[in-house]
Structure 1
């Protein structure tokens, strides 16, 4: 309590002293430093085991003092000029000693300590960096590590003890600092001047305060009371000791700790913990252990810690993700590597069956759950797009209650991840995560998952069923494509079953989405029929597509549809058609901002793209990445210009990075921009009112860049793109597309892989009809295939499979079959594209095989009998 509050004009006195004495601040600092030395002498001691100073903790003559009592007694010793031991110095950073704790010297289990709850009146042991260093030095000097082993075992096996360890020192949390701040005038005169009531209040013990949580309250949602740099230094010092001296004890302690925490969270629902922050402190410390990915830690401790951490409520997991993102960036890649190694080891070493699969193994699912926290921490630690880039319908959902079941209209009834909702972010928001998204893929796990069963778990209403589809970041795109395939096929079967039931009750409907088109009027026929379906019954778009070319004998088991999509894409995305343009420097397809086509036409093109994904057909479409971001609900931004138009992006970067004050004279750029339409005519647009009179300067250059990008990528094609997206959603609105895939993965889904490796195709090919891998005709076929130029190889792929695109995951995903088609003859090879089967006669020479094969792939078109 200050002197002023007691009627003493202390404040005026201090002001006069400061004004009259130029060295008053120095005296005040010196007095404060001396009082701190008395305080730490009472609490920590001088370190001399033979000390005889009755006012030093090392002498054993100081009774257990609360922090408030130690603060009051330090002031009294200062006023009495009591003896001060040599070497007693306050830490470089004052340490926090909270109510309910003993002195730092007494708290360390130098002797055998039985950790008990503070509710029983005994104190928990805990560690600081300084104490751990002291123990290590003592153990090295004595060449005995019993004290270190005992200390690590007691502290790291007790959640309560560990939560009190390595705490930051907050000035506002120190009783001594609080006293000095409240009564700075007392530092310049003997503390005996303090009134009796103030001294009594300092010496007395606040019972309510003592029984509270000893860990400091963390005011910020992304902050922590753990001194993480101190933890890292302490662990670095610990591992300077040979690992065999202590690691077994530490591993056993961590297993005990994890068991106890999991029990608390699953059974007691954390009622045994005073606060969630103190529990998070434990995980922050143990996940800083640098050897978690090695030997015993990986096999025993890490798995158990992941199980305990995965039990945390969503709010606590979100807090942990924020703290990791803010304070543990350098630690995130190593932690991810440890989790990946744990999952891989358990997948490779596991014995899984249909009855016991990877989804049932908590040794795999628990680290996957922890990896999700790390996944969002990586996004928070990277570059995030601002909220204003969320499209209109998305923004409404994002700003609604966090319990909303969906943020994306494209995902329909797909529930939003609770952790993402709590954090208020989405994978689409991460322009550049701290750790690349691809580093989260685990290929051994992806290969081991039986996606049909995982999809069944995903659809299950039982909350205990774990599905990797809800943790899609760990799966490779090829595996996720299977999940989407099962969803699409089941929906097709459902529509077919409903058609059958309607037929039974006298309302016959077609169980398929049938399109009958003429080759010479392909676009007109297809768009007219699709428009009728979209108007009359949009749900029919979710039926299996069956295409028939008028006058041809092909039966569509998949191959006819592939050719239909290929022909549609070739024609409708041709710039001569007028709906799309081609970017000069990238040769990518973009919407024609001056198109005369109606919104319905763009809607139908969106339906075609959705149908291709829905029917597992790869298209030869070259959209910039911003199109897929916009399809998933994000506007185009300045960063998207790099992919959309690299030349323009470089020019804009030069403008943005220019630092001179003569920007208007140098660039002569106003807020009026020009662009050319599909006919080559130059048009102008003002980004702001009277933009032609407003020059770009250092102050407004960022605004100019954002407005220019917004115009090019959003506003100039708003009508066309919104209609296109509406058609796409008509097919994919109930699909888990947005749940499983990011924009760059959807590009792979639509366009296929960019890696064209015929060696992969050869390794994955099977043989029938008498052929084997060693047959002469088969060896000759692959010699010819590998010698072809890339364009001819693509035609061969198209001839055999109906598409020249590489599926997601590479050509190894194609199960091509080469079957013997009789003895040597003059017939050309035949392909059943619906089943990827090549019927190859047993040609006698490689020259004959090459001649017949090239004729087949160069002149084949349509479906008929050969």
Structure 2
């Protein structure tokens, strides 16, 4: 250890450019060894240990991506299997190479691949019939292969909470299927609609569970939750876990601190600044105040949070904030807001979340990465979406209808483009790895009866496929597309029968 400290101190003293050269040399060597078969596990582990020491010494001076190593998916799959075996038994199986101690060599794409593969394996295990011996016969003992939620659009929240509360824990690990209004179709569209609308309903229909920030753009757990609502926080956690486990993006306006807490990372002043510009700004002012007369500013350890007055130091009411104790005050304020005041309800939320998702495997991720996986990204590179688009065999890029579509798309404002993304994929935010994850296909459809101008575009959200009628003009294309993107034409419209005299307006194909 002493020698490692000496080497670590030497590495940390090097200029950034020199550090990067050292890291790249070891990283290149590791990449070569990773392609040897069979895998020389001891050699790889020794090289990873060196890289870890370099990472710990240099991580504040050079980008983490400097340590990312390209590796074959076969190695990661083997490592995942070893990790799963080690988590179930202590009988001396070889430990995984990477998953336990060396997450810093994995980029987000590889981490997500590991998480998604683990979810898929777990789902299949829970679908496989369990066998029991009865004399010499083997009798399958199993429930349905899916975890099915049968909900009505008009009572979406109530139906969901009732069925989740009654569900056996083992069912939560099966693949999720959602049925709306007794429709027996098995379609990914319903699952995406379910998560999109349910999370909007929770915040609007259960306001007593949450507090809003000053600008009403972010929500946090209420510190005044009743005993009745404690169970709801557990179910809310289950829903968040189900969304992540089933690879769905949800509309959830929580700050980064939620994901930090899920990963056992302590909240900081930066989290308060994100959630409340007013409170965070005041605390930052106190922290940066350099004169010795801070106590003359009349700040005390008594604060107002979530509608209540709170003494952060009950043993000394009205204790003044001074230059000597200002750090203690700020830490106590942040700790109360994000830990103490919501301790019970967060524990229930966390318990529900980890009933579905494996807590240990999520340690692979940084908080912002976990946040992006669950709620998506607010960065939209629309040019990447265009470049990734494929076209039907009979409608190349030069087809007049395709040309009209892109002209109309370019004229849409940012919010309308997000509406289009929801129409196309079932998600309004970009995937965590960006729009390059989406490969849209555009097909021009032949209308069997009536004029194409009467019909609206359709989408096959499971495959990100856009179906366009042969519109006569760009103006007709614009009118029909913008009308199809209106939110009420999708989810809620299915609650009522269409007007028999109206044109065909199916906007999301149920596939």
TM-score range, shorter chain: 0.7 to 0.9
**Which residue of 2 is the match for residue 267 of structure 1?**
none
Rounded to whole Å, the distance in 2 between the matches of 1:595 and 1:634 is 24
- Is the aligned partner of 1:565 residue 2:198? no
SS in 1 for 2:102: helix
- Please name the residue that 1:375 is paired with: 55
Q: How do residues 795-814 of structure 1 correspond to structure 2 at under 5 angstroms? A: 795-814=419-438
Does the CA-based 8 Å contact 1:638-1:710 persist in structure 2?
Answer: no
Computing the radius of gyration from Cα coordinates, the structure with the larger value is 1
Using the TM superposition, give the Cα deviation of residue 351 of structure 1 relative to its aligned residue in structure 2, in angstroms. Answer: 13
Which residue does 2:387 correspond to in 1? Answer: 763
1:370 & 1:684 partners in 2: Cα distance? 51
Contact 2:222 2:306 in 1 (8 A): no
CA distance in 2, matches of 1:712, 1:351: 48
SS at match of 2:395: coil
Equivalent residue in structure 2 for 1:751, among 350, 375, 396: 375
CA contact (8 A) 1:556 1:834 kept: no
Give the match for residue 854 of structure 1.
Answer: 482
- Decide whether the 8 Å contact of 2:303 with 2:309 is kept in 1: yes
> What SS class does the counterpart of residue 443 from structure 2 fall into?
strand
Distance 1:450 1:636, change over 3 A: same
Q: Give the corresponding residue for 1:93.
A: none
Shift in Å at residue 777 of structure 1?
2.1
Alpha-carbon distance, 1:359 to partner: 7.3
Larger RCO of the pair (alpha carbons < 8 Å, separation 6+): 2
Question: Which blocks of at least 5 consecutive residues in structure 1 are unaligned?
Answer: 1-220, 223-276, 278-319, 380-432, 678-682
Name the counterpart of 2:17: 334
1:437 counterpart (50, 64, 68): 64
- Give the one of 774, 779, 788 matched to 2:403: 779
Q: For 1:359 and 1:747, how far apart are their aligned partners in 2?
A: 34
Select the residue among 437, 441, 466 that pairs with 1:838: 466
Alignment of structure 1 residues 402-441 onto 2, 5 Å: 433-441=60-68
What's 1:516 paired with? 150
> Is 1:618 aligned to residue 243 of structure 2?
no
Q: Shift in Å at residue 563 of structure 1?
A: 0.8
Q: How far 1:586 sits from its partner (Å)? A: 7.2
Q: Please give the secondary structure, in 1, of the residue aligned with 2:335.
A: helix
Instruction: Report the secondary structure of 2:317's partner residue.
Output: helix
Alpha-carbon distance change, 558 to 456 in structure 1, aligned in 2, over 3 angstroms = farther
Q: Aligned partners of 1:465 and 1:593: how far apart in 2?
A: 41
Structure 1 residue 434: Cα displacement? 4.0
Which residue does the alignment assign to 1:794?
418
The 1:770/1:346 distance shift into structure 2, 3 A limit, reads farther
- After TM superposition, the structure 1 = structure 2 runs for residues 543-562 of structure 1, keeping only pairs within 5 Å, are 543-552=174-183, 555-562=185-192
Shift of 1:667: 1.7
TM (norm. structure 2) is 0.83
- Distance between the aligned counterparts of 1:629 and 1:340, measured in 2? 28
Shift of 1:733: 3.0
Question: How far apart are the structure 1 equivalents of 2:12 and 2:161?
Answer: 52
Alignment of 1:587-666 (within 5 A): 587-596=217-226, 597-664=228-295, 666=296
State whether residues 821 and 842 of structure 1, in contact with CA within 8 Å, keep that contact through their aligned partners in structure 2. Answer: yes
Q: Distance in 2 between matches of 1:357 and 1:469?
A: 22
Q: Is the 8 A contact 1:585 1:647 kept in 2?
A: no
Distance 1:818 1:343 in 2: 45
| Contact 1:610–1:728, Cα closer than 8 Å, also in 2 | yes
- Unaligned runs of at least 5 residues, structure 2: 86-92, 495-504, 507-511
Q: Is the 8 A contact 2:146 2:176 kept in 1?
A: yes
Contact in 2 for aligned 1:609/1:728 (Cα 8 Å): yes
Match of 1:691 in 2: 316
Counterpart of 2:79 in structure 1 is 457
Q: Count matched residues.
A: 476
Whether the 8 Å contact between 1:625 and 1:747 is mirrored in structure 2 is yes
Tell me if structure 1 keeps the 8 A contact 2:11–2:54.
no
Name the CA distance, whole Å, in 2 between partners of 1:328 and 1:652. Answer: 36
Given the superposition, is the C-alpha separation of residues 821 and 368 from structure 1 closer, same or farther in structure 2, using an over 3 Å criterion? farther
- Report the counterpart of residue 340 of structure 2 in structure 1: 715
1:215-614 alignment, distance < 5 Å: 221-222=1-2, 277=3, 320=4, 322-331=5-14, 333-339=16-22, 341-342=24-25, 370-378=50-58, 433-441=60-68, 445=70, 449-451=71-73, 454-460=76-82, 463=94, 471-498=102-129, 505=139, 507-533=141-167, 537-552=168-183, 555-574=185-204, 577-585=207-215, 587-596=217-226, 597-614=228-245
Q: 1:477 to 1:625 in 2, by over 3 A?
A: same
> Is the 1:359–1:466 Cα contact (8 Å) retained in structure 2?
no
CA contact (8 A) 1:760 1:812 kept: yes
**RMSD between aligned alpha carbons?**
3.4
Q: TM-score, normalised by structure 1?
A: 0.50
SS in 2 for 1:691: coil
In structure 2, what is the Cα distance between the partners aligned to 1:655 and 1:772? 62
1:686 and 1:805 map into 2 onto residues whose CA distance is: 40
2: distance between equivalents of 1:519 and 1:809?
31
1:825 to 433, 448, 452: 452
Which of 350, 353, 363 pairs up with 1:725? Answer: 350
